[in-house]
Structure 1
Amino acid sequence: MIVRPHLHWFRMLLAWRGSVLPQLLPRLFIVLALSIVAVAAHDHILKLTVNLSTVPFSLIGIALAVFLGFRNSASYDRYWEGRKLWGQMLNETRSLVRQALTLPRGGDAATRESAHELMSLLAALPHALRHQLRSTDPRADLESHLPPALFERVMAARYRPAMLMLCASEWVQRETREGRLDGYAVLAFEHNLNGLSDVIGGCERIVSTPLPFAYTVMIHRTVYFFCAMLPFGLVDSIGGLTPIFAVFVAYAFMAHEAIASQLEDPFGTEDNDLALNLMSTGIEVALHDLMGEPTSLPARAPEQFIID
């Protein structure tokens, strides 16, 4: 994802990286070429003249705008849910580390050492989940957070975030068996661990259930057919200005369709997907901060744009 501070209105007009315009340029050039052909045919430069009424384009354009609105709403709902789930992960992991520091009985040194063990598991969790959602190799990230034996155990699992949750539950069980946690403390830990399980399951649901393909391809075909025929519907009324208006309308429709396509999978690596690298690091920094351990990891995005 591209993360940048709020731009001045004029700079926003010229923004390039992070917009979908670069990937749309070849398609817009095709619309421009069709517009030039339509103008040439209308002026009888070519032997074939194709003039269409604007009425069907008005009706189709209104219907297409409604369909694109539903498409964008459905895609943004997935993006927004993913954003909320990762925010919930930050809250749940913070609560677990706080409880690990304050609820167990025993000396401060033993409590902090035991809490650090749980904190390492929780700090590795967002990295493991990010790699699972993106189908990438988590080895480098997990190896730096986990002891060797635990690292090998987690890497041997297919669903590594779930294995880390199991290890966290085993930590609670061990603390209970050794008498450092009472029943009320166990319930508090289990409540937050269940919340983390809901986060993992929610993210997996978004990845494994995309929007219906037939619905997506129908809108995609309609947008491109509409944009290809639009110059021949405009040329009779606006003449030589057809290329300008046809390209502008095509950009509006194609851009909405392209943005919706990116937001449909919010955990990907495209410009407008969630900044999971930055969010994973932010959770890790928050947990180290609760432990009173300084870290050189960035807690927020730099002022210039980044790809994450």
Structure 2
Amino acid sequence: MIVRDRPSLLKLFFILRGSVIQRIFPQVLFVFGLSALVVWAHRIDPGLVPSVNSGPFALLGIALSVFLGFRNNACYDRWWEARKDWGQLIFTARDFARQTLILTELDKVSGDEARHRLLTLTIAFAHALVSHLRPGSHAARTLERLPQDLVAGYKASRNGPDFLLRTIGSELASLRASERISDLQWTMLDGTIARMSAVLAACERIRNTPVPFGYTLLLHRTAYLFCFLLPFGFADALGWATPFVTALVAYTFFGLDALSDELEEPFGVSPNDLPIVALAETIEINMREALGEKDLPELPKPNKYMLM
């Protein structure tokens, strides 16, 4: 995710990191070249490339803008919901660290050991969720934080984060069975784990349920056809200004389309996707601090305005 102060007006036109211009530049350049070719052909032989009434293009442009706005809003809602889910996970993990203090009050030695294992599993869960949402990445970090007796079970599981939540639940059940915590305390702690499980399910729903493909395909086709046909409607009225006007329109429509694609998959690695690695590292630092560790790294900071 791009994290930076608002640039000045002069710098605004030269920023590339975080912009979609790199993705859509070939399409914009093609529209510019096509527009120049249409204007040239119209000037050479108006009969070959006749002037077309620009009225329908204005109406279609308005309709296309509305539909692109709807899709952009739908994709942003997905992005924002995913961010709220991770915010809820950070809150729940901190709440769990506070609630487990009851273990140290009941039995200082064994309570500290049980609390350390529970919070270590919480750290592993946060990193495992990153690997789950970004397949093929962050797996080594998860294994680093995982207790050795759980590595084999974690690797064999089809859903690593859920495996760790079940393990935490099993640890809490053992504490209750040995009467080291009461029914009320077990209910409180188990409810916190249930909230973590709800975050996992919500993130899986976002990842596994994209915006309907037919809706996306319709907008893709309409945007491309509109931009390719636009110079025929303005070649006579705008002359050699047509390539610049159509390129600007193409930049707007293709840019909104590309930005929607990035926001639709909030757990990816595009510049505008969520920094779930940084959020997992934040949870780890919070849990380690709750355990009393002193030599802790700084909270994640952007590297060249990029936070992953």
- For the aligned pair, the TM-score class normalised by the smaller chain equals over 0.9
Partners of 2:31 and 2:246 within 8 A in 1: yes
> What is the correspondence of 1:69-148 to structure 2 with a 5 Å cutoff?
69-102=69-102, 105-136=105-136, 138-148=138-148
Pick closer, same or farther for the CA change 1:200–1:299 going to 2, 3 Å.
Answer: same
| 1:36 matched residue in structure 2 | 36
Deviation at 1:109? 3.5
Per-residue CA deviations over 1:248-282 (Å, capped at 9, x if unaligned) read: 01100100000001111111111111111111111
Query: Does the 8 Å contact 1:105/1:181 carry over to 2?
Result: no
Task: Indicate conservation of the 8 Å contact 2:131/2:139, yes or no.
Answer: no
Q: Contact 1:282–1:298 at 8 Å: present in 2 too?
A: no
Secondary structure of the residue aligned to 1:144 is helix
Distance in 2 (CA, whole Å) between partners of 1:245 and 1:131 is 44
- Structure 2 counterparts to residues 1-308 of structure 1, below 5 A: 1-44=1-44, 48-102=48-102, 105-136=105-136, 138-302=138-302, 304-306=304-306, 308=308
Give the secondary structure class of the aligned counterpart of 2:269: coil
RMSD over aligned CA atoms reads: 1.7
d(CA) in 1 for partners of 2:116 and 2:103?
A: 14
Matched length: 308
TM-score (norm 1): 0.94
- Flag structure 1 segments of 5+ consecutive residues without an equivalent: none
| Helix, strand or coil at the partner of 1:48 | coil
Query: AA paired with 1:64?
Result: L
CA offsets 1:179-201 (integer angstroms, 9 cap, x no match): 22111111111211111111000
Contact 1:128 1:161 in 2 (8 A): yes
Q: Distance in 1 between matches of 2:139 and 2:238?
A: 60
Structure 2 CA distance for partners of 1:16 and 1:84, relative to 1, 3 Å:
same
Q: Equivalents in 2 of 1:35, 1:138: separation in Å?
A: 46
Q: Partners in 2 of 1:102 and 1:42 — Cα distance?
A: 81
Distance of aligned partners of 1:32 and 1:278 in 2 relative to their CA distance in 1, 3 Å threshold: same
State the alpha-carbon separation in 1 of the partners of residues 302 and 251 from structure 2.
31
Does the 8 Å contact 2:129/2:161 carry over to 1? yes
Matches of 1:307 and 1:52, distance apart in 2: 48
What is the CA–CA distance in structure 2 between the aligned matches of 1:99 and 1:20, rounded to whole Å? 44
User: Structure 1 CA distance, aligned partners of 2:296 and 2:237?
Assistant: 62
Distance 1:41 1:158 in 2: 60
Three-state SS of the structure 1 residue aligned to 2:65 is helix
**Residues 9 and 182 (structure 1 numbering): CA distance in 2 closer, same or farther, change over 3 Å?**
farther
Counterpart Cα distance in 1 of 2:113 and 2:219: 56
Residue 60 of structure 1 aligns with an amino acid whose one-letter code is L
Q: Distance in 1 between matches of 2:45 and 2:236?
A: 15
Cα deviation, residue 208, structure 1: 1.0
The Cα shift of 1:295 comes to 4.5
Between the aligned partners of 2:184 and 2:272, the Cα distance in structure 1 is 43
Q: State the TM-score, normalized to the length of structure 2.
A: 0.94
Identical positions, percent: 35
Answer yes or no: is the 8 Å Cα contact 1:75–1:260 preserved in 2.
Answer: yes
Q: Displacement of 1:296 after TM fit? A: 4.0
* TM-fit CA distance, 1:102: 3.0
- Pick closer, same or farther for the CA change 1:184–1:103 going to 2, 3 Å: farther
What SS is found at the alignment partner of 1:306? coil
For residues 8-39 of structure 1, give each alpha carbon's deviation from its aligned partner in whole angstroms, at most 9, with x where no partner exists. 34323221011100111111110011111121
**Equivalents in 1 of 2:159, 2:122: separation in Å?**
15
Measured in 2, the distance between the counterparts of 1:111 and 1:103 equals 5
Matched letter for residue 60 of structure 2:
I
Residue 278 and residue 137 in structure 1: after superposition, are their counterparts in 2 closer, same or farther (change >3 A)? Answer: closer
Task: State the one-letter code of the partner of 1:122.
Answer: T
Name the CA distance, whole Å, in 2 between partners of 1:182 and 1:192: 16
Q: In the aligned structure 2, how far is the partner of 1:74 from the partner of 1:67?
A: 11
Rounded to whole Å, the distance in 2 between the matches of 1:302 and 1:10 is 23
User: SS of 2:145's equivalent?
Assistant: coil
Distance 1:9 1:188 in 2: 52
Distance 1:23 1:72, change over 3 A: same
